[in-house]
Amino acid sequence: MKLSRREQAKTERRRRIIAAARDLIRETGDTGLSMRAIASRAGVSLATPYNLFGSKRAIVLAILEDVREFHERFSRLPKTDPVERIFQALAISIGYYVEDPDFYRTLWTAVLDTSGKELRTAILNPQSHAFWAALIAEAAGDGAFAPEIDLDLLLRNLNFTFESVMLNWVFGAVDVADLEASVAYGYALALRGAASPAAGARLEAEVIRQQTRLAALRAESQAA
């Protein structure tokens, strides 16, 4: 369906506001941007961001939706075993961080601030939780985990691993190039601990694979 000129102009203003806010977050390292600064960078009136989005939080949410074609990318991947799909999803997710580290480091700095509850909720949202829970359940259904493993607690532990690596990245203890391997190694260790006898060798091989990747990246970084 072809948009009217009015709708096209509205869509273009939304795009400019989202792009302006993202650029400002990257440049200033601050998610607490004023609507005036966003409007000025986008070349629109001060009323326009309020009319189109309503609040700064809504603009940040729109930025996250705008830059994440996550589900589209994931759906295009060839089907493989459920455990491998967990690591594929992780690679895509952290790929965004590697592509635009200044922007995502700013977001995670705000998330890890005790006053950043709204942004934390925006990033760690129910839809994201449901997606990862479904991946874990799929792997469990394929017999990857011992039957006594509590899948909710397993996912909670994986989330703790992810957030711990992000915290260390924000503090400068983890290089952006090491992000995926660092999280993937933690995931592999946790999943190996939860593995069924039938999947133990498969997940042990995953631990070794991620360990080898991480060791190689660290050696490369130390040699540079």
Digit-coded pLDDT (tens) for 142-179 = 999 999 999 999 999 999 999 899 889 988 999 999 99
Residue 109, both tokens = 């700095």
**Residue 194 · residue 140 · CB < 8 Å:** no
113's tokens: 């601030």
Question: What pLDDT, on the 0 to 100 scale, is given for residue 73?
Answer: 85
Do residues 60 and 122 lie in contact, with contact meaning Cβ atoms separated by under 8 Å?
Answer: yes
Give residue 57's pLDDT.
76
pTM of the shown model: 0.80
Q: What are phi and psi of 145, to 5 degrees?
A: -115, 150
Q: What is the pLDDT of residues 65-82, one digit of tens each?
A: 755 677 788 888 888 899
Mean pLDDT computed over 206-221? 93
111-135 residues labelled b (16+ CB within 10 A) or e (exposed)? beeeebeebbebbeeeeeeeebeeb
Q: Could you give all domains of the chain from N- to C-terminal order, each with its CATH number?
A: 5-66 (1.10.10.60), 68-223 (no CATH)
Q: Which residues contact 151 (CB under 8 A, 6 or more apart)?
A: 133, 136, 137, 140, 145
